[in-house]
Homo-oligomer: A and B are copies of this chain.
Amino acid sequence: MQHKRSIVQTLLAVLLLLTVFGHPAAGRTVRTVKWKLAETWPSTLTPLASPPAQVAKMVKEMSGGKFIIRVEGKEKHKAPLAVLDMVKGGQYQMGHSSSYYWKGKDINTVFFTTLPFGMTTAEQYAWFYYGDGMQYMQQVYDRFKVLCYPGGNTGVQMGGWFKKEINSLDDLKGLKMRIPGLAGEVFARLGVNVTNIPAGELYTSLDRGTIDALEWVGPGMDMKMGFHKVAPYYYTGWHEPASEMQFLINKRAYKKLSPEFQAMLQTAMKAAAADMYYENFAASADAWDKMKADYPDIKVKTFPGPVLKAMKKATDEVLAGYAAANPLFQELLASQRAFMDKARQWTIISDYNYLKTSMELEQ
């Protein structure tokens, strides 16, 4: 009897250990992780708000509900331009925004959104993933103690809505325009009175003449704002050829994730970033088609050659000014330019040439 008792006790002890530390076949104990993500956009503003929503959905499904990311739009946190600070500070484990909004904190952040007369979407993704892009982006964001990843691309943005036609550089002098970022600095050099106005006040400002022109995104997003009703001239793009959004992740929070959850997040971010480009492309194609049918009076224009030439010169001057004052800016500019010079040759012989051929055949 004593013998039997000790067998029972040994068995009991083994089972207890197995239960507490998990059955080998059951894998490790997976604790539910709950994160919050702050995005710069209202949570309904697709396609910009799509990548965070998709990442949340994908990691939830992949983890069987064990990795939950609650996405909070601008309507909730009320601090669209504090997303980087909130992720850095740990109030949010994750953020979704656009890099050039942090230009005031570090001018080198602009390279990861887009540059005026810069790379196309394919060129830029090639630079990120198969050039120096990702490495430089992390180097810049290391000072904020956040990890940074591509988070979706708009493709070529339109040059904006103008109440009057721009026939020469003179027409830009004294023009009141809402345009942010480096493009705003370029316009300022050409005599434009550049202002920044919150999104919610843009339509009224344009309608009432507080501003004469503004730049937003492209037809997919612009038409919803109604700008076409108050400004008949719609100019093609030069200033944001491939604006990339970014996912931001608090480093300490990321380190606490299991390798599996880290891998899920990485894969989901990459898939969601790619998808935003397709979504925005499709939405822009739809909106463009609808615009041409419903508003045939909208005048689609490309800035005249001399105006574009002056914009290019002003862009080079603005960039050279920052490069002279900031060695990393100079290094990053050189990296992007070298990559773009090479990549553009291939873009021209492949995409551009194909489109040109196809257009000529339609004539």
Chain A positions within 8 Å of B, measured between CB atoms, are: 8, 11-12, 15-16, 18-20, 22-23, 25-31, 58, 61-64, 66, 117, 120-123, 125-126, 128-131, 155-156, 158, 218-219, 236-238, 241, 258-260, 263-264, 267-268, 270-271, 273-275, 277-279, 281-286, 288-289, 292, 300, 302, 305, 308-309, 312, 342-361
Pair B351/A120 contact, Cβ less than 8 Å: yes
- Top 9 nearest A-B pairs by Cβ distance? A274-B274, A130-B282, A61-B263, A156-B350, A126-B282, A270-B271, A271-B271, A15-B15, A285-B346
Residues of chain B with a CB closer than 8 A to A281's CB: 122-123, 125-126, 343, 346
- Distance to closest chain B CB from A229 (angstroms): 20
A342 to B282, CA, bound (A): 9
- Distance to closest chain B CB from A110 (angstroms): 18
Pair B23/A122 contact, Cβ less than 8 Å: no
A238 touches which one: B22, B308, B354 (CB < 8 A)? B354
A346 to B345, CA, bound (A): 22
Residues of chain B with a CB closer than 8 A to A277's CB: 122, 125
Closest to A60 in B: B263
Count of identical protomers in the assembly:
2
Pair A125/B270 contact, Cβ less than 8 Å: no
Pair A64/B259 contact, Cβ less than 8 Å: yes
6 contacts between A and B (CB under 8 A): A26-B29, A27-B27, A131-B282, A270-B275, A271-B271, A352-B356
A62 touches which one: B120, B129, B260, B309 (CB < 8 A)? B260
Closest to A126 in B: B282
Residues of chain B with a CB closer than 8 A to A283's CB: 130
| Known contacts A126-B282, A263-B58, A361-B312: A346-B288 contact under CB 8 Å | yes
Pair A263/B62 contact, Cβ less than 8 Å: yes
- Distance to closest chain B CB from A73 (angstroms): 22
Pair A19/B15 contact, Cβ less than 8 Å: yes
Closest to A339 in B: B285
Pair B278/A125 contact, Cβ less than 8 Å: yes
Residues of chain B with a CB closer than 8 A to A15's CB: 12, 15-16, 19
| Known contacts A15-B16, A31-B25, A361-B117: A62-B267 contact under CB 8 Å | yes
- Distance to closest chain B CB from A360 (angstroms): 7
Interface centre among A237, A274, A277 (most CB of B within 10 A): A274
Residues of chain B with a CB closer than 8 A to A282's CB: 126, 129-131, 343
- Distance to closest chain B CB from A350 (angstroms): 4
A66 to B270, CA, bound (A): 22
A63 touches which one: B26, B260, B352 (CB < 8 A)? B260
Residues of chain B with a CB closer than 8 A to A61's CB: 259-260, 263
- Distance to closest chain B CB from A35 (angstroms): 17
Residues of chain B with a CB closer than 8 A to A350's CB: 155-156, 158, 218, 236-237, 284
